[in-house]
Amino acid sequence: MRIISVAGARPNFMKIAPIVAALGKVPDVEHCLVHTGQHYDQRMSDVFFRDLSIPAPDVDLEVGSASHAVQTARIMVEFEKVCEAKRPDLIVVVGDVNSTMACTLVAAKLLIRVAHVEAGLRSFDRTMPEEINRLVTDSLADLLFTASRDADENLKREGVDPGKIHFVGNVMIDTLLKHHERAAVLDVAGDLGLAGKDYAVMTLHRPSNVDDPSVLKGILQVVHQISRSAPVVFPIHPRTSARINEFNLDSLVQDGVRVAEPMGYLEFLNLMSKAKLVMTDSGGLQEETTILGVPCLTIRKNTERPVTISEGTNKLVGTDPELLLESAVQILDGNWKESRIPEYWDGRAAERIVKVLTGGN
């Protein structure tokens, strides 16, 4: 059986790693790992392959950065060549980045079966590029692997054949549980001069938050205020850094706000696991904080991961400065909800996926 797995951007690497490892244990599977190069620099790509012990990709498309249309087109052109050369029986795509959708489109047109890992997530917000990628990918995929029961219901409501849907759990949690001990021995907070101190962590990268100067300014003003009570470590995304400079907001990321370069997986896991609070617009961090039991404030008006709210530590605060501040103060005062581990977030999702892929279920 010939299988191609696709990864393209930072959020994909944590999801593909356990699948690659599980496929490596199965005899009679010829596996090819394709890196599209959607995220391509050392900080956003190479360090994750090293930290997560992912073998070097068999093929690197090296598409680089561009507009959504140009990047998607480049991936499609180059991935079609790979499919024609390798003639796979199945393509495995993960997540919701442009690479996910582009490779699914190519496979569907070549009549190659597609398995989508992390299917069925819905924010119901079509202004998010990721939502479009999810909808297109799920409509074309032959096997849909879900991380939570609400994702199953989303797919069924859209008319997907229930026989295609497989509830397997969350592969990102496979990666977190596997590497948690390795991350725990690091002392990232100490390296930042925060040993023994309560601190918060923030990530911010979505266009809706960083491309509008008034929205970005409002968020940073509140974060600067929060930093007077607890230092805020801010590993900054290149896009966000550019916007802060462009909008002359540098004064709001000084003093108690500790700007840092993007971190490797193990470094960031260590930093996040010991934080008093995480503020983010990332989907994956909503899940990881749920497992770690770390309070999370999601700076978005919606989430495609509602299980992190109903069962986890997550709360949506939108871009309302007052709600963000009020919730952060509440957490720093030690008042927050208890969480529980969602069903099947147990470190064995990749095993379940590979069992289905190879006909073991």
Both tokens of 323, joined, read 């709600």
* Annotated catalytic residue within 116, 166, 205, 224: 205
pLDDT at residue 44, rounded to an integer: 54
d(CA 143, CA 107): 13
Continuous segment of H or E residues that includes residue 35: strand 30-35
Q: Closest by alpha carbon to 274, among 178, 194, 176?
A: 194
pLDDT tens by residue, 39-77: 655 555 678 888 998 999 999 999 988 899 999 999 999
Full set of structural domains in the chain with CATH = 2-169+345-357 (3.40.50.2000), 180-332 (3.40.50.2000)
pLDDT at residue 43, rounded to an integer: 54
pLDDT tens by residue, 215-256: 999 999 999 999 999 999 999 998 899 999 999 999 999 999
Neighbours of 159 (CB within 10 A): 7
pLDDT tens by residue, 5-37: 999 888 899 999 999 999 999 999 999 999 998
Residue 116 appears among annotated catalytic residues: no
Average pLDDT over the chain, rounded to whole?
95
Indicate the pTM of the whole model. Answer: 0.94
